[in-house]
Amino acid sequence: MATDPPMSFHGNHEAWTRITKQVAAAKSRQRPVLAAVAFIGVDAAKILPLEDGDTLVCDADKPRIKTGATSVKALQEFHERGVEVYDCPGLHAKVIALRDRAFVGSGNASANSRDRLNEACIETTDKEVIKQARSFV
C-alpha cells in the first residue's frame, strides 16, 4: 500500500480537487473534519463536503454576509447536514484538519476560489502539525 509523503504542495485547481477528495474519503470512513475557512461561497457544500459531526468555522459577520463573501444559503445547507457552524469575525485562515492529514492554504470555499483564482495549499500527514491544526480550528 502506497503512503502519502509527509508534506506536499498543491497549486491552482489541484488544491481544491485534493481537499475535496480527501474530505470525502474521511467522511466515508466516518472521521470528523474540522475546517476553518474564512469565506463560504454559495456552492461551498459541493467544494467542501462536510457532513454530520464535522465542524466549520468561518467569518459570517454581518458585513461578510451583506457583501456575499459568506453565503447564508451555504451555511444553512451545512447546518441542515448536521455540521456545527461557528462564526469567527475577522477569520482569514484556511485550515482543514482531518484525523490523518491537514491542509493549510489560501483558498476560500467557493467556486471562484476553485475555478478562477490561483490558489495553493500544503498538505501534511505530520501528526504534530495535524494536532496543532485541529487545535487551531
Mean pLDDT of the chain: 94
Indicate the pLDDT class of residue 2, thresholds 50, 70 and 90. Answer: low
Alpha helices per DSSP H over 1-137:
13-28, 44-47, 62-67, 72-81, 111-115, 127-136
Task: Give me 58's grid cell.
Answer: 468561518
pLDDT at 30 over 70: yes
Q: Is residue 13 part of a domain?
A: yes
Residue whose C-alpha cell reads 451555504 in the numeric block: 74
Could you list the residue range(s) of the whole structural domain that residue 35 is in?
Answer: 7-136
Q: Is residue 80 part of a domain?
A: yes
Q: Is residue 93 part of a domain?
A: yes
Q: Is residue 1 part of a domain?
A: no
pLDDT tens-digit profile of 57-73?
999 999 999 999 999 99
C-alpha dihedral, 103 to 108 to 110 to 116, nearest 10° = -90
Number of domains in the chain: 1
Q: Are 3 and 112 in contact (CB under 8 A)?
A: no
Q: Are 40 and 73 in contact (CB under 8 A)?
A: no
Predicted TM-score of the model (pTM): 0.92
Q: Is residue 69 part of a domain?
A: yes
What is the CATH classification number for the domain harbouring 35?
3.30.870.10
pLDDT tens-digit profile of 79-126?
999 999 999 999 999 999 999 999 999 999 999 999 999 999 999 999
Q: Is residue 2 part of a domain?
A: no
